[in-house]
Amino acid sequence: QVQLVESGGGLVQAGGSLRLSCVPSGHSFSTYAMGWFRQAPGKEREFVAATSGMTGAAYYADSVKGRFTISRDKVTDTVYLQMDSLKPEDTAVYYCVGDRATRSLLDNNGIDYWGKGTLVTVSS
């Protein structure tokens, strides 16, 4: 059974940092694009960041560029999202995702695998 298991969410004050982790299992994700989406209360799910499995290139939503960093451990396929300078508007459930095509993540179109999410709450 393929799983993406997120961890690292929690409560943090504005300006603080958190690091999310996503551990995949049941499938090799070494060539897959991996990334993060988030969904705030009452809002649609939105793209946050992605990393290409083939090139290692990183992509970010404009709202997090310069504050968030996505990285991947090539040995374990674990994907991280380092979140700095957090703002109250970053409050959301964060989901780890994986797909054979980076474009699927960037377009939020037919993504193969989703984790169950981890809650990040940023207080003002």
3-state DSSP helix/strand/coil % of the chain, to nearest 5: 5, 50, 45
Reported as a pLDDT band with limits 50, 70 and 90, residue 27 is confident
Backbone angles phi, psi at 102, to 5 degrees: -60, -35
Mean pLDDT (the chain) is 96
pLDDT digits (tens, 9 = 90+) for 91-109: 999 999 999 999 999 999 9
